């Protein structure tokens, strides 16, 4: 069982800001505290903050909040569709699960982490869905050594994340639910509708009732396996929210900037975000994704998923390279190399298309906007 | 509160003063609700309303008991004097009214109280000629409402509220919350909105001059009416209130400033007209209609009904609930919305409203709840039927009614009478289908004529799904017509637009046809127009316009167009003749009045024939690619000489053919056609004809393409030459045998084209000849065509039945 439900260890891990990817509740600890501090609104049972504060935590607040004399700015963490976040919060306060679907890299996981860390203060109660996920991972399993020595007792039971969520009244996350076999997914049906889990091994009366506050946030990407195979009975237990990729290049720039800032901070790299590079990257990704360039040139359609998450990764990789091998300034050649890496992930046939995009749209941009765009265009020979 | 704003508001809304201003946003239920309350409190003697002053004569019909919203005032202006532009275009504008329009509520209330009411805004044509607005074919009320969406102040407000659009902001703060406010507080909030919008617009000088003109006009009207009435309530857009007050003070107060007076350019009243037209929710919905931009009309209609019924207690929540229930009651197979889904949707809507600090859920929460609770799976193009359904019911299908006493343009009366006569439903906008037996049934034939007329007017009222297309000469053997039609209110408005062409639909069609005559038309186009005129029953068209039509033909120098026209005339003549032979009980398709068209038709056909001959020499200069079309035209001309020998001078025709053949430069195809005609006319012996063909094929063997074009030309007219002697077949055979594969493929299309002229029996005969030559059977030569299995089966069945019957009758 992957979940570590030992309280101390859990806390230790939560506090560890130096983790490669810090948890949302760790990263935004102060923001969460500040919001909880001023939260006067009604909150659903077992929620750590009211729905309004959850929304403010995810969508940001115009004015900073004071916490112990310090002004804490509540930043916007999820861009694109504010109403979607609001609907997601209301869904979680109700009795249906929340299913976030969308293309890879559209921040579904990030949103689910933000939601669970704001609502339950913990985003680690998670099942990672794979083809190998079995019913034990969803319900419970046994510590066999203890089972043999003591028989079926509660101490011998190894709870699953769903079990923990029900027991404590907190949010359980189910990542990539559609990667699990259909029958395994369906074991959630009764849990979600009846909110009880029978443990027949412990006797007839052994039933775990879900405490208020328990709910499930599942994510599924529509690119690979899709959600078509999900049973309609299970679908009925969820409210679906489709997370779409960011439409505007300027919002994409904001996302790249804020996420890279966090990534560099956790990597202990002191480096300013280069706005011009971000703009180039956001424009490239946006145009290649939407198929519409500012100059009305024909943009070829790539097989690769040109997600914002990929753009963040391209910037971060380039920044690391600049930090360790260069003078701390991102070179266009490095950026292009990382961009190529991101594109060829799916299909090598995308490379000539990328090159034609450079020869067309980027060429015009380089003539019009000069400077860095020119350098970017000149690096096109790396695309082979 | 800003002291200037406070003072201005007090001045505008003092229930003890002679004039009070009620600021509105058009189509707002909350404004209507409070307006009625303020009228009750203030007890005015007159209600003056922002609306076109030249439509005051329509108020009595608007308030008539039999008139039911949605309807609109339709204003049109024909710029015959060229005041607006040299193009002298026609302009139109709409003022839509729904049950919850403050303007409509005010008019109805004035009627109830038996007090004076009047529109005070500039008439639409006056706005146009004075460059106050340039909008055409859209709604002025919605043009005003759109200002809220683009104003700097409202954009700031929307952003600050965190809501998605100004409409959502308005719904939340002015509609939902507004209903729970005291009337004075509500009026103050709407007034303040207009005040600040104006303040920021003034800074950037946005459309200010245009607004000032309208405000001056309205102020002038208010000032005039205030001489007669002691207590006036002016219902105008919130944006204009301050402007009107200023003008009243500066220009019509005790101390007037002459410099601020505005004089208006005049227009000819005869060129303007306004009517009330019934409308549908579909037409006025922002998502579909383009002439008005009301959001979710059915939703706000329900809200308004709730307001009247329940007196503003949770009216929005009740409306949201009713729409959720409505959607779940829809066809389950299609939409699959269960009761738990509906409960979930209501839970979502109510809680979203709390999260968004709204007192009740509104239409935006309803849509969000449908998105969340009704869509199972990813939102994609194929998975939004439930959401689309929600949008559909939010838009609604309600149709308005307009009092039968109202002034309606004669053409609309004619249209409605026709619809009544032919039992065409005008109470629904759903598509309907009707099958008409145009040969046997007199009333069907009449109805068909009506459809043809409406179709000719291009109003999107009806489409001929199946039936004979006389104009394009397709499916002419069909005896039934299947029409699809759907009534939409904009058909009546379009008819009004066309009313310059006549007072009845028939007049209109005739005049439009006549107008088309003034356009630059070719002979072919005019011949189609003549058929068109006959189809819609315009029997005298050719006779009445003979000179114009003759001139058009005289001017046309396009041989192909002339010959095609000739073919159309011949077709029309034959049809007319055939119809004439049908007894009177069995109706005639074209000419119900039994008017003889043969005389003018023969006259015009003779003329066309002469002009065709005059232009025949143009065929000499054609390239081979163009020659196919011309060859067909020449064939039409030749057929015409055979069919109507008494209408044409055959000697002239033969002379022309001879002139073309005087030298053989130019197109081989045309050469082939002319040679064939000469042979067919007996001016060339069979022997000579065969020789000429033979030598042409031999001499041009180096240019195989020429040969193929030539053969196509020969076979177009005289296919029989193939069967007179085997010489020609042998020559063609020799040529084909000498070709390389590549050359063969190159000329194959031309050869195929050449042999398409052959009838099936001729193909059979030809294959036999070739079979003998190659000592094989004709079945081996004829290609197997791909035929659908079903067709083969059906054919075999028919064959069997026929064979059986023939045996029964002892034929075999």
Confidence of residue B1 (pLDDT cuts 50, 70, 90): low
Select the residue from B332, B377, B383 to test the A interface by mutation, using most A Cβ atoms within 10 A: B377
Confidence of residue B350 (pLDDT cuts 50, 70, 90): very high
For residues B770 and A260, give the distance between their C-alpha atoms in angstroms, rounded to a whole number: 82
Top-ranked range on mean pLDDT: pick from A27-36, B453-462, B504-513, B802-811: A27-36
CB B49 within 8 A of CB B113: no
A–B: how many Cβ contacts below 8 A? Answer: 65
The answer to whether the Cβ–Cβ distance between A232 and B376 falls below 8 Å is yes
Select the residue from B343, B370, B378 to test the A interface by mutation, using most A Cβ atoms within 10 A: B378
For A240, the closest of B162, B347, B376 (CB atoms) is B376
φ, ψ for residue A297, nearest 5 deg: -80, 165
For residues A160 and A214, give the distance between their C-alpha atoms in angstroms, rounded to a whole number: 14
Q: Over chain B, what is the mean pLDDT? A: 82
CA distance B162 to chain A (A): 9
The answer to whether the Cβ–Cβ distance between A235 and B376 falls below 8 Å is yes
The answer to whether the Cβ–Cβ distance between B351 and A236 falls below 8 Å is no
Nearest-10 Cα torsion for B365, B369, B375, B381: 0
Confidence of residue B583 (pLDDT cuts 50, 70, 90): very low
B368 contacts on A by Cβ (under 8 Å)? 83, 86-87
A87 contacts on B by Cβ (under 8 Å)? 348, 352, 368, 371-372
B172 contacts on A by Cβ (under 8 Å)? none
Q: Using CB atoms and an 8 Å cut-off, which of residues 168-197 of chain B contact chain A?
A: none
Q: Which one is predicted more confidently, B389 or B226?
A: B226
**What residue of B is the nearest CA neighbor of A51?**
B355
CA distance B26 to chain A (A): 27
The closest alpha carbon to B501, from B458, B551, B469, B452, belongs to B458
Q: How big is chain A by its Cα radius of gyration, in Å?
A: 23
Q: Using CB atoms and an 8 Å cut-off, which of residues 266-285 of chain B contact chain A?
A: none
For residues B598 and A101, give the distance between their C-alpha atoms in angstroms, rounded to a whole number: 73
Select the residue from A239, A242, A243, A245 to test the B interface by mutation, using most B Cβ atoms within 10 A: A239
Confidence of residue B311 (pLDDT cuts 50, 70, 90): low
Q: Is B354 on the interface with A (CB under 8 A)?
A: yes
Top-ranked range on mean pLDDT: pick from A111-120, B313-322, B792-801: A111-120
Per-residue confidence (pLDDT) for residue B584, from 0 to 100: 46
Alpha helices of B259-359 — where are they, by DSSP H?
281-284, 297-310, 315-328, 332-335, 339-355
A55 contacts on B by Cβ (under 8 Å)? 355
Sheet containing strand A97-102, strands side by side: A126-128, A171-175, A215-221, A97-102, A238-242
In this predicted structure, the answer to whether residue B269 has a pLDDT above a threshold of 60 is yes
In this predicted structure, the answer to whether residue B111 has a pLDDT above a threshold of 90 is yes
Q: What is the pLDDT of residues B648-704, one digit of tens each?
A: 888 888 888 888 776 666 788 888 888 889 888 888 888 778 777 777 776 654 467
Q: Is B336 on the interface with A (CB under 8 A)?
A: no
Per-residue confidence (pLDDT) for residue B89, from 0 to 100: 77
Q: Is A232 on the interface with B (CB under 8 A)?
A: yes
Confidence of residue B184 (pLDDT cuts 50, 70, 90): very high
B157 contacts on A by Cβ (under 8 Å)? none
Q: Is B626 on the interface with A (CB under 8 A)?
A: no
CA distance A160 to chain B (A): 26
CB B140 within 8 A of CB B55: no
CA distance A42 to chain B (A): 11
Per-residue confidence (pLDDT) for residue B764, from 0 to 100: 81
For B355, the closest of A89, A94, A240 (CB atoms) is A89
For A83, the closest of B164, B347, B379 (CB atoms) is B164
Q: What is the pLDDT of residues B741-777, one digit of tens each?
A: 887 887 788 778 778 777 878 888 888 888 888 877 7
What is the pTM for the complete model shown? 0.68
B160 contacts on A by Cβ (under 8 Å)? 62
The answer to whether the Cβ–Cβ distance between B378 and A240 falls below 8 Å is yes
Please compute the mean of the pLDDT values over residues B459-480 and round it to a whole number.
74
CB B671 within 8 A of CB B710: yes
Per-residue confidence (pLDDT) for residue B288, from 0 to 100: 57
Cβ of B241: how many Cβ atoms within 10 Å? Answer: 27
Full pLDDT tens readout for chain A, 384 residues? 333 344 444 444 445 555 677 888 888 889 999 999 998 888 899 999 999 999 999 998 888 888 888 888 898 888 878 899 999 999 999 889 999 988 887 888 999 999 999 999 999 999 998 888 888 888 999 999 999 999 888 889 999 999 999 999 999 999 988 888 888 888 888 888 888 898 888 887 788 999 999 999 999 888 766 555 788 888 888 999 988 888 778 888 888 888 888 888 878 888 888 888 998 888 888 888 877 666 666 666 777 778 888 888 899 989 988 888 888 888 888 888 888 888 887 667 778 778 878 877 788 788 878 788 888 888 888 887
Q: Is B384 on the interface with A (CB under 8 A)?
A: no
In this predicted structure, the answer to whether residue B593 has a pLDDT above a threshold of 60 is no
The answer to whether the Cβ–Cβ distance between A90 and B351 falls below 8 Å is yes
Per-residue confidence (pLDDT) for residue B585, from 0 to 100: 46
- Within A166-251, strands assigned E span 171-175, 196-198, 207-209, 215-221, 238-242
Top-ranked range on mean pLDDT: pick from A3-17, A169-183, B130-144, B783-797: A169-183
Q: Is A89 on the interface with B (CB under 8 A)?
A: yes
Q: Is A55 on the interface with B (CB under 8 A)?
A: yes
**What residue of B is the nearest CA neighbor of A178?**
B377
Confidence of residue B235 (pLDDT cuts 50, 70, 90): very high
The closest alpha carbon to A339, from A383, A375, A373, belongs to A383
The answer to whether the Cβ–Cβ distance between B338 and A236 falls below 8 Å is yes
């Amino acid at each position: 069982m992957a979940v570590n439900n030992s309280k101390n260890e859990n806390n230790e891990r939560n506090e560890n800001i130096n983790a490669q990817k810090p948890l949302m509740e760790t990263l935004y600890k102060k923001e969460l505290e500040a919001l909880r501090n001023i939260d006067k609104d009604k909150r659903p049972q077992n929620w750590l903050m009211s729905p309004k504060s959850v929304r403010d935590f995810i969508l940001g607040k115009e004015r900073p909040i004071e916490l112990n004399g310090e002004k804490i700015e509540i930043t916007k963490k999820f861009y694109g569709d504010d109403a979607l976040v609001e609907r997601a919060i209301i869904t979680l306060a109700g009795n249906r699960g929340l299913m976030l679907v969308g293309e890879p890299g559209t921040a579904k996981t990030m949103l689910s982490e933000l939601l669970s860390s704001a609502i339950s203060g913990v985003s680690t109660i998670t099942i990672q869905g794979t083809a190998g996920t079995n019913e034990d991972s969803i319900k419970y399993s046994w510590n066999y050594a203890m089972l043999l020595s003591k028989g079926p007792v509660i101490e011998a039971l190894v709870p699953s994340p769903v079990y923990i969520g029900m027991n404590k009244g907190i949010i359980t996350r189910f990542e990539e639910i559609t990667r699990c076999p259909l029958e395994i997914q369906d074991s959630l049906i009764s849990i979600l509708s009846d909110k009880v889990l029978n443990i027949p091994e412990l006797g007839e009366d052994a039933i775990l009732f879900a405490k208020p506050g328990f709910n499930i946030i599942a994510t599924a990407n529509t690119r690979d396996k899709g959600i078509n195979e999900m049973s309609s009975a299970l679908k009925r237990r969820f409210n679906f929210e489709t997370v779409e990729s960011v439409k505007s290049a300027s919002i994409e720039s904001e996302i790249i900037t804020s996420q890279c800032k966090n990534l560099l901070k956790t990597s202990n790299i002191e480096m300013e975000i280069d706005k011009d590079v971000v703009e180039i990257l956001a424009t490239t990704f946006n145009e290649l994704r939407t198929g519409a360039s500012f100059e009305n040139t024909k943009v070829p359609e790539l097989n690769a998923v040109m997600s914002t998450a990929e753009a963040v990764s391209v910037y971060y990789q380039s920044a690391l390279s600049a930090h360790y091998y260069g003078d701390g300034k991102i070179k266009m050649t490095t950026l292009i190399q990382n961009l190529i890496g991101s594109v060829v992930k799916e299909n090598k046939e995308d490379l000539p298309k990328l090159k034609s995009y450079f020869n067309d749209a980027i060429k015009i941009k380089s003539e019009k906007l000069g400077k860095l765009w020119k350098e970017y265009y000149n690096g096109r020979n790396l695309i082979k | 509160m800003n002291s200037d704003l406070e003072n201005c508001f007090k001045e505008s809304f003092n229930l003890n003063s002679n004039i009070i201003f009620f600021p509105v946003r058009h189509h707002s239920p909350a404004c209507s609700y409070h307006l009625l309350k303020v009228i009750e409190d203030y007890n005015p003697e007159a209600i003056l309303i922002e609306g076109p002053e030249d439509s005051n004569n329509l108020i009595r019909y608007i308030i008539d008991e039999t008139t039911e919203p949605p309807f609109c005032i339709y204003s049109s202006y024909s710029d015959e004097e060229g005041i607006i532009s040299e193009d002298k275009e026609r302009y139109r504008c709409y003022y839509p009214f729904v049950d919850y329009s403050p303007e409509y509520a005010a008019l109805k209330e004035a009627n109830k109280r038996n007090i004076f009411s009047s529109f005070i805004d500039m008439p639409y044509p006056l706005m146009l000629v004075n460059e106050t607005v340039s909008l055409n074919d859209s709604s002025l009320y919605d043009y005003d409402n759109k200002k809220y969406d683009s104003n700097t102040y409202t954009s700031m407000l929307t952003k600050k509220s965190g809501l998605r659009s100004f409409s959502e902001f308005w719904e939340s703060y002015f509609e939902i919350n507004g209903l729970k406010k005291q009337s004075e507080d509500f009026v103050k909030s709407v007034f303040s909105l207009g005040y600040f919008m104006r303040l920021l617009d003034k800074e950037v000088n946005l459309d200010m001059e245009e607004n000032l003109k309208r405000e001056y006009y309205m102020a002038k009207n208010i000032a005039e009416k205030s001489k007669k009435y002691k207590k006036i309530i002016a219902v105008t857009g919130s944006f204009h209130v301050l402007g009107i007050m200023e003008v009243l003070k500066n220009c019509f107060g005790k101390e007037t400033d002459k410099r601020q007076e505005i004089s208006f350019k005049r227009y000819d009243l005869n060129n303007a007209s306004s009517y009330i037209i019934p409308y549908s929710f579909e037409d006025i919905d922002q998502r579909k209609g383009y002439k008005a931009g009301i959001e979710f009309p059915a939703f706000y209609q329900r809200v308004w009904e709730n307001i009247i019924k329940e007196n503003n207690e949770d009216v929005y929540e009740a409306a949201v609930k009713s729409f959720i229930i409505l959607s779940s009651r829809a066809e389950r197979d299609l939409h699959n919305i269960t009761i738990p889904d509906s409960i979930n949707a209501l839970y979502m809507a109510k809680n979203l409203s709390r999260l968004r600090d709204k007192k009740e859920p509104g239409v935006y929460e309803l849509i969000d709840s449908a998105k969340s609770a009704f869509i199972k799976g990813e939102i994609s193009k194929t998975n939004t039927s439930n959401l689309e359904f929600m949008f559909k019911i939010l838009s609604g299908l309600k149709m308005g009614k307009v009092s039968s006493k109202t002034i309606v343009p004669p053409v609309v009366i004619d249209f409605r009478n026709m619809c009544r006569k032919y039992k065409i439903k005008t109470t629904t906008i759903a598509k309907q289908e009707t099958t008409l037996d145009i040969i046997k049934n007199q009333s069907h034939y009449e109805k068909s004529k009506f459809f043809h007329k409406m179709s000719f007017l291009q109003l999107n009222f009806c489409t001929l799904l199946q039936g004979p297309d006389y104009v394009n000469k397709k499916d002419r053997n069909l005896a039934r017509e299947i029409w699809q039609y759907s009534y939409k209110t904009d058909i009546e408005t379009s008819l009004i637009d066309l009313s310059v062409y006549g007072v009845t639909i028939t007049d209109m069609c005739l005049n439009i046809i006549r107008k088309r005559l003034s356009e630059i038309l070719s002979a072919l186009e005019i011949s189609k127009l003549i058929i068109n005129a006959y189809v819609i029953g315009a029997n005298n068209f050719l006779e009445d316009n003979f000179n114009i039509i003759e001139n058009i033909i005289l001017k046309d120098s396009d041989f192909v167009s002339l010959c095609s026209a000739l073919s159309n005339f011949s077709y029309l003549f034959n049809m007319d003749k055939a119809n004439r032979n049908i007894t009177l009980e069995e109706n005639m398709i074209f000419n119900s009045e039994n008017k003889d068209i043969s005389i003018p038709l023969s006259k015009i056909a003779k003329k066309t024939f002469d002009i065709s001959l005059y232009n025949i020499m143009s065929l000499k200069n054609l390239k081979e690619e163009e020659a196919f079309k011309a060859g067909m035209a020449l064939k039409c001309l030749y057929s015409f000489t055979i069919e109507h020998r008494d209408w044409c001078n055959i000697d002239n025709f033969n002379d022309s053919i001879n002139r073309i053949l005087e030298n053989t430069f130019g197109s081989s195809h045309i050469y082939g056609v002319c040679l064939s005609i000469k042979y067919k006319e007996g001016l060339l012996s069979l022997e000579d004809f065969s020789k000429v063909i033979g030598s042409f094929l031999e001499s041009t063997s180096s240019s195989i393409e020429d040969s193929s074009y030539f053969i196509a030309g020969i076979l177009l007219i005289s296919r029989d030459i193939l069967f007179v002697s085997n010489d020609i077949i042998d020559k063609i055979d020799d040529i084909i045998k000498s070709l390389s594969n590549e050359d063969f493929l190159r000329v194959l299309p031309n050869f195929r084209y050449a042999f398409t002229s052959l009838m099936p029996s001729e193909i059979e005969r030809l294959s036999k000849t070739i079979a003998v030559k190659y000592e094989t059977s004709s079945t081996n030569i004829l290609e197997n065509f791909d035929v659908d299995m079903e067709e083969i089966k059906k054919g075999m069945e028919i064959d069997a039945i026929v064979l059986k019957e023939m045996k029964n009758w002892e034929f075999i």
